[in-house]
Structure 1
Amino acid sequence: MATTTTTTSTITKRSPVMMATKRTEVPDVKTMRDAIPARCFERSMLRSFSYVVRDLVAVSLLFYSAVQLVRLDLPWTLSVPLWTVYGFVTGLFFTGLWILAHECGHDSFSANGTVNATTGWFLHSMLLVPFFSWKFSHSRHHRYANHMEKDTVFVPHRKPAEHQEKPEPTFLERIMDHTAADTPIVSIISLIIHQLFGWPAYMLLNAGAGVKSLTTKSTRKETPKYMQSHLNPTAHVFTQSEQPFVLLSNIGLVIILATLYQVSRSIGVMNTFFIYGVPYLWMNHWIVAITYLHHTHPEAAHYEADTWTYAKGALSTVDREFGFIGRHIFHGIIEYHVVHHIFPRIPFYHCEEATWAIAPMLGDNIHPVQVR
């Protein structure tokens, strides 16, 4: 049985999903892999690091400009617009670095596992993300994408049967699904909370995950919240062999928090918040928004255990067009997410070619959104 969720978006005519005009059977993974040129699976460490260097240079220049802004005694009519632009633009590049660390987590950054782990840990720690903790749960999201019980990301609520009373959504459910509210004001408030706290809620409480997404046989309802935190090495989100790496992730967070504390003693808490905290909040917003839109669409089904397969789950994600920012700062993760779900080790700079290679055989199994 397949369950669907609702949202809307747009896509441009440049996208390969526009070729989807006919319902077809879901092709097997090998058939799709054979259709993709072998070069798409080649990982270039030099090319990947060129994007890291580019984004780090951009962030460094933005940090420098912010420090100079702190030293200027500008009236609020000038300082507020400048800080607003700074926070937004820096948040974009924070998100770009987050996505490059995401490449490391999938080992699509390079063919060297040590380089991937070290680079991903450095980049994600810098952004206050527990790299290995996220990597382990994210790999299970890819393994069980759109599985109603085992997926770890934005699993929708089942509609109650006609004879059952619809349960009132909990506060946490409203954070992860802002459509659960009935009134516009509550929906707007829930959306704001969703965008501000959705990512911390997932990291700290495993919010949005399926009832059987843990590594033990116990369900999420039976497991205390502290045993589902991505910061707890002994949490049921991880296996015993993964626990030391979770601890290493926490060490990275402590290093960055200690650095931010020292910076705040030098330039002040508010200035530190404007320089680092506001871009961090923008990054949280983009990560939650991108993930939500990738996995929420009327035609993108979520499957029960008896009908789910890896291919069907991966193909029930959505490519969306986001223009210059999506393609050049967010490294195309929004535009070519379907092929990434099927073959997560394809580097992001090959995902467009790989998408075009498999689009003709997918038909309506790749979910287009309406052109306006």
Structure 2
Amino acid sequence: MAVPPAKNLQQASSPNEEIEQFDPSAPPPFKVADIRAAIPDHCWVKNPWRSLSYVLRDILVISSLVTFAVFFKNITWVWPVYWVAQGTMFWAIFVLGHDCGHGSFSDNINLNSMVGHILHSSILVPYHGWRISHRTHHQNHGHVENDESWVPLTEKTYKTLNTVIKILRFKIPFPLFLYPLYLWTRHPRKSRSHFHPYSDMFSPNERPYIVISALCWALMVANLIYLSTIVGPTMLLAFHTM
């Protein structure tokens, strides 16, 4: 599909001049409907059996990695390899739950909710709480005031940051390690918890969903506590949370 030229971009005599004349604050020269129309129809078909096969595949890989770590647990170098590999697979589990939240996993809302709760709760993410805040993120992507998770900084604010903060936030980036804190409290001065049904992020009709997800999350925590009494807290930490 041909995309029409930006209206705010005048004829330029050189590439550099074209960049200088481009106004990033202007609306894009296309609509979301144009993008959707350019995507082939088969890309919109949701196959729940294929989606579930991905879940089964990832569970098998995760189980294999656990078995590998148990068998070679006395070898020091095994653990760093396990943490990297299993962390990657936990991210894969998160992505599948993410697709459930978007409704791209299947056309069945109940199936999406059930699988999403199982997957996200297993990695200690409240499914509905995250799903709703993530929807807000997509509706306001890149908006300085209204974006939910990836809030861009203004140039004025960025210039006030010291070098250490710039490195931790934009080079490492350190905020990725603060994800549990993000789930508990999104904003220091507002009620922005993904677990609280009366959080500012949720409407009154969404509160029952938040309660359900928080209960599923608590059930997973209780299960991990029980497992720690069997294998020990240190071993559980090594297997699950690292």
TM-score range, shorter chain: 0.7 to 0.9
Q: Which residue of 1 aligns with 2:51?
A: 48
* 1:262 and 2:215 matched: no
**Counterpart in 2 of 1:62?**
65
3-state SS of paired residue (1:154): coil
The C-alpha deviation readout for 1:88-117, integer Å capped at 9, x for no partner, is 101111100100000000000011111001
Question: Which of residues 126, 131, 135 is equivalent to 2:127?
Answer: 131
2:80 maps to which residue? 84
TM-score by length of 1: 0.54
Alpha carbons of structure 1 residues 150 and 192: separation in structure 2 relative to 1, 3 Å: closer
CA contact (8 A) 2:137 2:150 kept: no
Shift of the 167–154 alpha-carbon distance from structure 1 to 2, 3 Å rule, reads: closer
**What stretches of structure 1 of length at least 5 have no aligned partner?**
1-22, 161-165, 170-179, 208-220, 279-372
| Corresponding residue number in structure 1 for 2:35 | 32
Number of aligned residues:
215
Question: Hey, what's the Cα distance between the residues in 1 that align with 2:138 and 2:58?
Answer: 26
Shift of 1:25: 5.3
Q: Which amino acid aligns with 2:186?
A: N
Would you say 1:247 and 2:211 are equivalent positions? yes
Unaligned 5+ residue runs, structure 2? 1-21
Partner of 2:136: 140
Instruction: Write the deviation string for residues 200-222 of structure 1: whole angstroms up to 9, x where unpaired.
Output: 23212215xxxxxxxxxxxxx8x
Deviations 1:246-292 (A, max 9, x none): 111111111111111111111111111110011xxxxxxxxxxxxxx
Q: Which position in structure 2 is the counterpart of 1:114?
A: 110
2: CA distance, partners of 1:111 / 1:82: 41
Residue 98 (structure 2) aligned to one of 102, 105, 109: 102
Alignment partners' CA distance in 1, 2:211 and 2:44 = 32
**1:192 offset after TM fit, Å?**
6.4
Equivalent AA in structure 1 for residue 147 of structure 2 = D
Specify the code of the residue in structure 2 equivalent to 1:94.
Answer: F
CA RMSD of aligned residues (A): 2.3
Offset of residue 235 of structure 1: 0.8
Is residue 2:199 matched to residue 1:235? Answer: yes
Of the two structures, which has the highest relative contact order with CA contacts closer than 8 Å and spacing of 6 or more?
1
The letter for the 1-side match of 2:180 is: P
1:194 to 175, 200, 207: 175
Choose from 153, 160, 163 the match for 1:157. 153
- The equivalent of 1:181 in structure 2 is 162
Contact 2:69 2:78 in 1 (8 A): no
Instruction: Report the Cα distance in structure 2 between the residues aligned to 1:262 and 1:168, rounded to whole angstroms.
Output: 48
Of all paired residues, the percent bearing the same amino acid is 30
Q: Relative to structure 1, is the Cα distance of residues 241 and 267 closer, same or farther in structure 2, using a 3 angstrom cutoff?
A: same
Aligned-partner SS, 1:228: coil
In structure 2, the partner of 1:203 is 183
Aligned to 2:17: none
